[in-house]
Amino acid sequence: MSKLVTVFGGSGFVGRYIVQRLAHQGWRVRVACRRPNEAGFLRTYGVVGQVEPVFCNIRDDNSVRLVTIGSDAVVNCVGTFDARGKNNFDAVQNEGAGRIARIAAEEGVSRMVHLSALGADAEGESTYARSKAAGEEAVLAAMPGAMILRPSVIFGAEDQFFNRFAGMAKMGPVVPLVGGQTLFQPVYVDDVAAAAEKGAIGQAPGGIYELGGPHEATLAECVREMLGVIQRRRLVLNMPGFVGTLIGGGLDFLSGVSLGLFSNSVLTRDQVRQLKTDNVVSGTQMGFEDLGIAPVAAETVLPDYLWPHRPSGQYAAIKASARNLKI
């Protein structure tokens, strides 16, 4: 019988790529998620019955145990940018991660891969960074041989990074930024999935891996590169940090007083604090080179999925070609 892996958060942005890779390896994949009825598309990643979305609430021991029983490996991709509510930073990225690792150990699971983030720091300014660090600590306390992946900002067809700024560029002549001089090392989602695959199937040892793409760039440079791809001329405006704090604070306040009617997905105070720290690999931990993976550069992938944001969309190349016709 083929081996079984449980992928927590496998219907999300990164998780779906990991699910696809593990299915192609011939593993049976149990996808633990909050809304399995919306994850049916994952079944097509394997043969009939190979990929099975199931319900799981990572805040509940019994729920986690039910989806972990019988697994040879577990992968945790669950994360959040929500500082409020029941599924907040601490509940998901600290307690939830620790619960998965503890129950995996109790059930005799041999390998675990945990998706963290660059910038995870127990002494960090942002609550997000501290919760990621606490989650790593909880995972390693229960599963000392776990693989911890710390990617920089992840890009890909479903990302909320380049797609988000591309959407902003369609709304006006200015793209405002907070932390425009902060360094990032954008990493392709399938490269992160490839790293997780190696850990899950036992081709790579446990430990902490910092994952960054082949190039470093400031946030402003990333946005300008994106603007070139979507063929739009916009002013990239880097706002002072205190302006970002005021905007984030105001939006956080509005989210709080609206009793959930408005969810601040624009800019939070915690994100402003995060943007004070560069998001690049330190060079002191293992990385792609240790896994035998050559990371893909953003410029080779962005045109494949950002073309809908161009003024002429899918017809941009045709229109450019037509201008060269001689009649």
Query: Which residues does residue 187 pair with via DSSP β-bridges, in sequence order?
Result: 154
For residue range 184-222, list pLDDT tens digits in order: 999 999 999 999 999 999 999 999 999 999 999 999 999
Q: Is 79 helix (H, G, I), strand (E, B) or coil?
A: coil
For 35-47, how does the pLDDT look when each residue is reduced to its tens digit (9 = 90+)? 999 999 999 999 9
Please give the angle made by the CA atoms of 299, 303 and 307, to the nearest 5 degrees. Answer: 150
User: What pLDDT is recorded for position 1?
Assistant: 63
Q: Can you give the pLDDT at residue 2?
A: 85
Q: What confidence tens digit (pLDDT) does each residue in 105-115 have?
A: 999 999 999 99
Quick check: helix, strand or coil at residue 69? Answer: coil
**Integer angstrom CA distances of residue 14 from 35, 157, 195, 200:** 16, 11, 12, 15
Please report, rounded to a whole number, the percentage of residues in the chain having pLDDT higher than 90: 87
pLDDT the model gives residue 327: 62
pTM: 0.95
Q: Which pLDDT belongs to residue 275? A: 94
CA angle 211, 213, 217 (to 5 degrees): 120
pLDDT band at 12 (very low <50, low <70, confident <90, very high): very high
pLDDT 10s digits, 224-241: 999 999 999 999 999 999
- State the Cα–Cα distance between residues 65 and 56, nearest whole angstrom: 9
Sequence-separated (6 or more) residues with CB below 8 Å from residue 241: 178, 179, 272, 276
Q: Which residues are CB-contacts of 139 (< 8 A; sequence separation ≥ 6)? A: 76, 97, 98, 100, 101, 112, 114, 146, 148
Average pLDDT, the chain: 95
- Domain chopping of the chain, boundaries: 4-158+185-214+279-295
Write down the CATH number for the domain with range 4-158+185-214+279-295.
3.40.50.720
Give me the pLDDT at residue 324, please: 77
Closest CA to 181 of 126, 131, 245, 224: 224
Task: Pick the closest to residue 52 from 66, 42, 61 (CA basis).
Answer: 42
